[in-house]
Amino acid sequence: MDIEKIDNELLNLLQSNFPLVEEPFLEIGSKLSISESDVIKRIEKLKKINYIRQISAIFDTRSMKYKSSLIAMSYDDSEIDSAAQIINQHPGVTHNYKRNHFYNLWFTLAVPPDSILGLEKTVEILKSESNAKSARILPTLKLFKIGVKLDMTGIYYLPRIVKAYKKGDAAILKELINILALENIKVIKSTFFTPELSLKKGNYTKNKPTKNDLDNIKKGENMLKKTNAFDHIQAIIVRENSIFKETSKGTKNLIKKLNKTKIKRGVLIKYPKKKQDLRVDLPTIGLDTFKDCKKAGIKGIVLKDKQNIFLEKNKCINFATKNKMFILVK
């Protein structure tokens, strides 16, 4: 059975604010623009494929004066399944789980305020009837209520993201933006509120690239033009007649690898990838990048005009100037 988007929207509604009215499925249907009978059919389908186990009320036993506790019991491995069946027959037992522990069966138990046996005596009887070796009552010392709601809409879109994953991170981001658009969420450029984080055209230190550096930059730019549309490459290092390309491990790993080579100098070019969505994914440079470049003997860094995130601007420029490196934005 195929899961449709509306099924995921239905699952989201069932997890929160379930309508406490005479015809709850009619009200849910009106929110989804489908009929009451369609809602019920879809729930039956989701039960068959184990997306839904049950739909039922959960009572606040504390407000109803019930006495409840977590119970841990210990069994021989050969007896734990039969013991669980006996324990589960009690109407006040929930959340019965096998654990990898000496106390290998844990469950919650609640007894009503008018119970003749009470909690402690009920535990004794369950221990005896299920042939437990030992039992522990673990009362609540501090209560934390955590509501867990699974975003089923996100799960619906997951196959599309997995398909994009095969094309690289730029394709994943593009697909996420497309999905957000379908949900009427608009994505704006990351530098919209922080334009100061992006460098404009210019040379930002007293050190200028030499003719040899400019030749290396041209070689690198030509190579970048030949990369595939969704390739992961957004950084290369050009040294003499050699071009070293970034892998999926990133720029830091690229520079680190070159530390081991005998050739020094060269330039780092960090441009956006082809078809890279500049709203969400800009090449980023920071002080750590400059420190890594210094160790590798790289003479300068080249960026694209307003197509970069430049962190700790003043520190980077001062570091580059001090170490006779250039920062060229084209």
Domains 67-138 and 195-329 share a fold: no
Could you give the CA distance from residue 293 to residue 327 in angstroms, rounded to a whole number?
12
Q: Helix (H, G, I), strand (E, B), or coil: what is residue 138?
A: strand
Provide the pLDDT for residue 140. Answer: 87
199 within 8 A of 329, measured Cβ to Cβ = yes
Instruction: Say whether pLDDT at 50 is over 90.
Output: no
Regarding predicted confidence, which is higher, 86 or 230?
Answer: 86
241's tokens? 């007649």
pLDDT at residue 243, as a whole number:
84
pLDDT of residue 231: 58
228: number of Cβ within 10 Å: 12
Give the tens place of pLDDT for each residue, 138-179. 998 888 877 777 778 777 888 888 888 887 777 888 899 999
Q: Of all residues in the chain, what percent carry a pLDDT higher than 90?
A: 48
Instruction: List the chain domain ranges.
Output: 5-48, 67-138, 152-182, 195-329
Please state the rounded mean pLDDT for residues 194-218: 89
Q: For 83-118, how does the pLDDT look when each residue is reduced to its tens digit (9 = 90+)?
A: 999 999 999 998 899 999 999 999 999 999 999 999
Regarding pTM above 0.75, the answer is no
Instruction: Give the CATH fold of the 67-138 domain.
Output: Alpha-Beta Plaits (3.30.70)
Instruction: Say whether pLDDT at 234 is over 90.
Output: no
What percentage of residues in the chain have a pLDDT greater than 70? 96
Q: Give the lowest-confidence range in 16-25, 146-155, 198-207.
A: 146-155
End-to-end CA distance of the chain: 54
Give the mean pLDDT of the chain.
Answer: 88
Q: What is the pLDDT of residues 254-307, one digit of tens each?
A: 888 776 666 567 899 998 877 778 888 888 889 999 999 898 888 999 999 988
Given this model, what pLDDT does residue 230 score?
Answer: 44
| pLDDT band (50, 70, 90) for residue 1 | low
Going from the C-alpha of 43 to that of each of 68, 72, 152, the distances in angstroms are 32, 35, 14
CATH numeric code, 195-329: 3.40.140.80
The predicted-structure confidence for 24-40, as pLDDT tens digits, reads as follows 999 999 999 999 999 99
The mean pLDDT of 123-141, rounded to a whole number, is 95
228 pLDDT exceeds 60? no
Tokens of 226: 């030949």
Question: Tokens 């449709």 label which residue?
Answer: 4
d(C-alpha 109, C-alpha 118), whole Å: 11
Q: Which of 77, 118, 62, 73 is nearest to 96 (CA)?
A: 73
DSSP secondary structure string for all residues of 56-82: -----TTTTT-EEEEEEEE--GGGHHH
Which residue is associated with the tokens 């009320």?
Answer: 57
Selected residue with higher pLDDT from 236 and 259: 236
Q: What value, to the nearest 5°, has the Cα angle with vertex 61 and ends 57 and 65?
A: 145
Q: Is the pLDDT of residue 82 over 90?
A: yes
